Amino acid sequence: MPLHLRSLVGNWVFGCDLCQLACPWGPALRAEDSMGEFLYPSLIEILELSEDDFRDRYRGSAVLRAKRRGLARNAAVALGNSDNQAAVGPLAEALASDCDELVRAHSAWALGQLQGGEARAALNRSAKTQAPPVQAEIELARTACRAAPLQRSR
């Protein structure tokens, strides 16, 4: 996702609530699901879904078009926009070990947005172990973390 669009995403990860309600492909709710859980799932849960869990959870819905990597990427971006410090741990875990480079890169960006010592430490831990595209995102995120105190003191 281009950098200039990430902050504009806000906390949306796929379509919108009206699209989900109107779409003939979704929501394909099972008896144990509720409309609220389908339309407003936990961003951290989405980020942590395995490929199998993703397919099981969204079987029969339009969300499958995004694939697990697209939805997890979007969840990372939304978490970066959330100011939710509870997301730092899950984002750090995704940066360190998610199977998809795209998710790892966007998790790095999100950590840079959330800032703070724990986010900075997670970025530093992963800086040398990632593929070049993820390393580039880590460097941008580390720059954002270093610049944060100056920006907030204005």
- Span 12-27, pLDDT tens digits: 788 665 665 666 555 5
pTM score, whole prediction: 0.82
Mean pLDDT computed over 80-96: 96
Query: In the Cβ-directed half-sphere of 29, how many Cα atoms lie within 13 Å?
Result: 13
Answer yes or no: are the C-beta atoms of 111 and 95 closer than 8 Å: yes
Cα–Cα dist 63/121, whole Å: 33
Q: Residue 27: is the preceding peptide bond cis (ω within 30°)?
A: yes
Range name among 38-47, 52-61, 83-92 with the lowest pLDDT average: 38-47
Whole-number average pLDDT of the chain: 84
Contact 23, 62 (CB under 8 A): yes
Q: Is 133 helix (H, G, I), strand (E, B) or coil?
A: helix
The mean per-residue pLDDT over the stretch 129-148 comes to 90
In this model, does residue 73 exceed pLDDT 90?
yes
Q: What is the dihedral of CA 56, 68, 123, 127, to 10 degrees?
A: 120
Query: Does residue 70 contact residue 64 with C-beta atoms inside 8 Å?
Result: no
